[in-house]
Every structure is written in C-alpha cells, then in structure tokens.
Amino acid sequence: MLIRLALPNMGAMVAGSVAAIAETAYVGRLGVPALAGMAVVFPLVMLQGMLSAGAMGSGVSAAIARALGAGDERRAEALAVHALWIGIFIGVSTTLLVLPFAPLIFGALGAKGAALDQATAFARVAFLGSIGAWLVNLLAAVLRGAGNMAVPSAVLLLTATLQIVIGGSLGLGLGPIPRLGMAGVAAGQVVASTFGALILFGYLRAGRARIGQHIGLRIGAVPLARVHFAAILQTGATAAVSPIMSITTIIILNRLVAGFGPTVLAGFGIGTRLEFLLTPLSFAIGVASVPLVGTAIGGGMTTRARAATWTAARLAGAIMAAIGVMMALVPGLWVAVFTQDAATKAVASQYFHFVGPTYGFFGAGMSLFFSSLAAGKVAPMLLAGALRLGIVAAAGTVLIALGAPVWTIFATVAAGIVTYGAISMLVVHRSDWTPR
C-alpha cells in the first residue's frame, strides 16, 4: 500500500527536482555571479515550498485523513475550504513581505554586488507568484489526505514540465524570445504553479475527487470556523518550525561560507542544492504514509500506524543513502551539470565527500517527520531540527573565528545531518502514539 501511494508522488517529486536542476543549469549559464546569487535566494524559495507542500500541506492532509478515518466526511470537506483560504492569505502575505525588501534580505544573507543584483532580480519575480505556489501545494494536499495521489501527482508533473520549458525559454532567450536572465528563469515557476493551482481548483470545484469518500470545494456552502482553521494550523504551524530551522541552518551556512568569496559560495550552493532537491523524494515517501498513519490513528489502530511509519522511514533512508554515497564517490555527475569553473567544481566536490554519506540519515528523519505529522505528534520531532541548527550555528561560528578551512564547515554539516536523523529515530521510537 505504501509503495502504491508513494510511486505517483515520487514521479511528481522527481519531475519537480528535474525542474529545479534545469533551473539551476540555466542559472549556471548566466555566470558565477548568478550562481552565487541563487545560492542565497534558493533557500527562501525552497522554504516556501517546504512550508506549503510539507508543513502546512501535511497539516491539511493529516487533518482530512483523520476526519475521513473517523467517518466524518462533512468535516473533511470543510477542512478543504479552509485550506484554500489559508493558501490565499499566506501567499499574498509572502509577496507583500518579500518584494519591497528583497535587496535588504539578500544583502543581509551575504550577497554583494552582482550576486545581490542577480538574487534580487530572481526573487522579485519568483515571489510575485507566491499565491500560486501555496495554492497548488495545499489543494494537492487536500486530495492526498483523501488518498488520491494520482491527480495531484499528474498536475505537479505538468507544472514541472512547464517550469522547465518556460524558465529556459525566458531565462536564456531561446529562439525569438528575448533573454530575460534571472527574472525569466523565475517566471517559469510563477506561470507553472499558477496554472497548476487553477487546474486543481477546477477539479475540486467540480466535485470529482472521489476516493471512497467525496471531497469537494464548496466555498459558499461552508462557513468559516475557528475550529477548522485550528485543526490545520495546530499541526501545520507547529510543523513549520522544522523547515524554518532547516532553512535557517542553510542561511547561517551561506553567511559563514560567503566570507570565503563568491567562488566558494557558488560551489557550496551547488552542493546544498542537491540536499534541497532530494528533500522531495523523502517527502514523496513520507507524505504517502500520511493517509495511512492518519487514518489508522483516527481509527485507533496505533500499531498499524507505527508499522507504516517505520516502513516509510527505511525506504526513504535507503534511497537517500544510495544517492548520497554515489555523489560522494563521483561528485562530478552532479557538479558538472552546473559549472565548468575548476575552482567552483573543487569546492562542490569537497562538500559531497563529507556530506554525501550522511544523506540516509536525512531521508529517514524527513520521512519520520511527516509520519509524526499525521499522528499529531510532531512537537517532539522539532528537537532533532533544533539540535542540527545548534551544532551548525555554534560549531560553524567558532570555526570561522579560528580561521579554519572551509572543509571543517562541511564536516560540521555532516555531523548536523547525522544528529538530525538519529534523534528523529529515537524520538519516534520512544513516543506514545495512543489516541487520547
């Protein structure tokens, strides 16, 4: 059952990762300053995706799965409508926050000169479409909560394809299309996510989401209620702390590494980009466990919920470990896609030598996080992310103060990831998931 639910998600998430890889390859053709600028803006773009698809999206899926597990179809439909309004509010708020302050934000994160100009150009277009990014992910989460993995996966596959085509065409100026640079690459995201959101909105409005239960999007027929917002936000907002800590970790690292110069920052950005792009694979497996765990918890079947949780964690850990070890052994498979600059390639390769072997811990920890969301036991899982952040911030600051070489920062990253995975496993092993 887990594999059947995970495969459509994995296909869509792999497509999304391919889109992000293509996007980074486009940026690489725009030069080292563009790569350095992307290194500081990409974490915030990923944070938006992790919050909408991961934290808040899983809050939506888990709430709907628990409602359906308890046989309350009316409540599940109400939750779908409330998810829509949450996406609209957060999407608009994100746009209003980032657009006016983009230069200040990315300057504070370490970007300077041409790199800052490139980061700002990308962000001002990418975050203009935040409402589309939030809605496509939250509406997909509504369907996943009902056990429908195929439709959201198909839509996300379509949006990834559009992002590749539009971003490349506008960013690099293919054929008669003018070369818009970073702004054009970002436009691919905006157009694709907005189009995907409109498709899912129309699908739900048509009442065609039947997976055993009927989940529609009857906006006018559902009065807004605090209890429904709370059901989503109680899990989603708490879960948001984890990706915020994860991105904060990368932002701190970017700030520390920026002191070594734009070439090192660009190489580091290529290295950390893979971690971001592998996150969707763990997400695909972890989120596939959400309806299984949520429905089991809603029906009082704790043993079944925990079995699904550990199966998902083992699968995610094994896949990520295999990829990480391969990157540690042959980093050129990834690095050469984005740059031919020898110094930049050397930095990125060194990063993978240290961090690649730890990716299995990252995958298992990420999967356990999503399963804990479905069980409504996410708060203890925040300890793992907090420890990772603490290790990187404290050790990294000390190492920079001592004038240590950049490889010591990479070793610190590896130690943080191992800690994250190990603590996640320990927390789930010792947590009591008995419904109260």
Non-local CB neighbours of 50 within 8 Å, separated by 6+ positions: 243, 246, 247, 279
Confidence of residue 175 (pLDDT cuts 50, 70, 90): confident
pLDDT at 1: 60
One-letter identity of residue 427: V
**Is 136:156 a contact under the CB 8 Å cutoff?**
yes
Residue 289 has pLDDT above 80, yes or no: no
| CA separation for the pair 424, 358 (Å, rounded) | 14
Burial label for 432, CB within 10 Å (0-12, 13-18, 19+), is: exposed
DSSP letter at 232 equals: H
DSSP letter at 53 equals: I
| CA separation for the pair 124, 190 (Å, rounded) | 11
What percent of the chain stands above pLDDT 70?
Answer: 92
Instruction: Indicate if the alpha-carbon torsion angle 177, 183, 185, 191 is positive or negative.
Output: negative
pLDDT at 216: 59
| CA separation for the pair 107, 130 (Å, rounded) | 21
> Mean of the pLDDT values across residues 38-42?
85
**Residue 207 φ then ψ, to 5°:** 70, 35
Residue 416 has pLDDT above 60, yes or no: yes
Task: Give the bridge partners for 211, in sequence order.
Answer: 213
Residue 8 has pLDDT above 80, yes or no: no
Task: Give the bridge partners for 209, in sequence order.
Answer: 215
Residue 28 has pLDDT above 60, yes or no: yes
Task: Give the bridge partners for 213, in sequence order.
Answer: 211
pTM of the predicted model as reported, rounded to 2 decimal places: 0.76
| CA separation for the pair 106, 103 (Å, rounded) | 5
**Is 305:296 a contact under the CB 8 Å cutoff?**
yes
| CA separation for the pair 381, 324 (Å, rounded) | 23
Tokens of 67: 């409602």
> Mean of the pLDDT values across residues 286-306?
77
Higher pLDDT, 334 or 69: 334
**Residue 253 φ then ψ, to 5°:** -65, -40
Q: Where are the domains of the chain?
A: 2-430
Higher pLDDT, 420 or 270: 420
**Is 188:168 a contact under the CB 8 Å cutoff?**
yes
The C-alpha R_g of the chain, in whole angstroms, comes to: 21
State the chain's mean pLDDT as an integer.
Answer: 86
User: For residue 289, which of 365, 374, 219, 352 has the smallest C-alpha distance?
Assistant: 374
Lowest mean pLDDT among 40-54, 150-164, 175-189, 352-366: 40-54
Confidence of residue 169 (pLDDT cuts 50, 70, 90): very high
Summarize pLDDT for 226-274 with one digit per residue, the tens. 888 998 998 788 778 877 888 888 888 888 888 888 888 888 888 887 8
Number of C-beta neighbours around residue 85 at 10 A: 15
pLDDT at 212: 42
Residue 275 has pLDDT above 50, yes or no: yes
| DSSP alpha helix (H) spans, 173-208 | 182-205
Tokens of 93: 């708020």
> Mean of the pLDDT values across residues 325-335?
92
| CA separation for the pair 58, 16 (Å, rounded) | 18
Higher pLDDT, 339 or 131: 131
| CA separation for the pair 15, 256 (Å, rounded) | 32
| DSSP per position, 349-413 | HHHHHHHGGGHHHHHHHHHHHHHHHHHT--GGGHHHHHHHHHHHHHHHHHHHHTT--HHHHHHHH
| CA separation for the pair 286, 54 (Å, rounded) | 10
| DSSP alpha helix (H) spans, 206-261 | 226-258
Confidence of residue 211 (pLDDT cuts 50, 70, 90): very low
> Mean of the pLDDT values across residues 379-392?
87
| CA separation for the pair 361, 284 (Å, rounded) | 16
> Mean of the pLDDT values across residues 143-153?
84
| CA separation for the pair 362, 417 (Å, rounded) | 6
| CA separation for the pair 274, 74 (Å, rounded) | 41
pLDDT at 348: 92
> Mean of the pLDDT values across residues 105-133?
92
One-letter identity of residue 154: A
